[in-house]
A and B are shown apart, each in its own frame.
Chain A
Amino acid sequence: MTGEAMERSATDTDLHYRRTPPVFWWTRKPSYFVFVMRELSSLFIAWLVLYLLLFVRAVGRGETAYADFLDWAASPWLVVLNVVAFAFVVLHTVTWFSLTPQAMVLQVGGRRVPPRAIIGAQYAALAVVSAFVLWLVTR
């Protein structure tokens, strides 16, 4: 402990004194690492929103712009980025679904809906939405 820190801890007997954890605290345990990866999914969600907006803009600009966009989207660095982004989205979906029953307690007829039912309902919603989007886009 440095002299300054000792002085601070000696004088600050109130609750304001906090020890600062090291910057790389999350590399120490696998569970911490998964937690931080889950939190980092936010960056990839923001990227995919931007990517999808660019896609829509290209479609709006006409057939050539659409074909050019698909070519650009097949370039290697973008494919790598999008594969990583897709993996983070899957991590987000799985962790989000499994946390929902802890964040939201549902009661039906005075009984608690079991967590497994809430998780199952979310996967059912995911399946329905995915099937609808696939149908709408490719029909």
Chain B
Amino acid sequence: MKFRVEPFLWLAFSGGGVMAAIFLPVLAFLFALAFPLGWLDPPDHAHLAAVVGHPITFLVLFGAFVMMLVHAAHRFRFTLYDGLQVKHRFLVAAVCYGGAFLGTFVALHMLGSAT
């Protein structure tokens, strides 16, 4: 049987879609809106540093963020291909998945810097 990568991309797309649907609303609301705008008191630095410095937080955030990036790359690939009719199939895939791949290293570096 011929090995095909496409089913695994769809699996990662689904996993990342679930992660984004469940984790992102609360994270975006708290960290992008409520804390910067003072709707809720921002947590002390010491407490937040302890939370993001914990190995479990690192693993959960790294896993969730990478899946979300692959999800976004996969969906944006079809937005370019079907929505905007950019028919350079290989280039579109390379830019989208390449972006997610780069994002994985950025995530590793930034999450690692806080532990």
Contact = CB atoms under 8 A, between A and B. Distances in A.
Interface of A: 20-21, 23, 26, 36, 39-43, 45-46, 48-57, 59-63, 66-67, 70, 73-74, 78-79, 82-83, 85-86, 89-90, 92-93, 96-97, 103, 122, 125-126, 129-130, 133-134, 136-139
A134 B22 contact: no
Nearest to A133: B26
Interface of B: 14, 17-18, 20-33, 35-38, 40-43, 45, 47-49, 51-53, 61, 65, 68-69, 71-76, 78-79, 83-85, 99, 103, 106-107, 110-111, 113-115
A74 B85 contact: no
A60 B26 contact: no
A42 B33 contact: no
A63 to B, nearest CB: 4
Nearest to A70: B36
Ranked nearest first, the 4 interchain pairs of A and B with the lowest CB-CB distance are A60-B114, A73-B36, A130-B26, A42-B75
Most A CB within 10 A of own CB, among B23, B36, B38, B113: B36
A23 B52 CA distance: 44
Could you tell me the dominant secondary structure of chain B's interface residues?
A: helix
Contacts of B65: 49, 52-53
Contacts of A59: 45, 48-49, 52, 114
Given A86-B33, A129-B26, A43 B72 contact: yes
Task: Pick the most buried of A53, A67, A134: most chain B CB atoms within 10 A of its CB.
Answer: A53
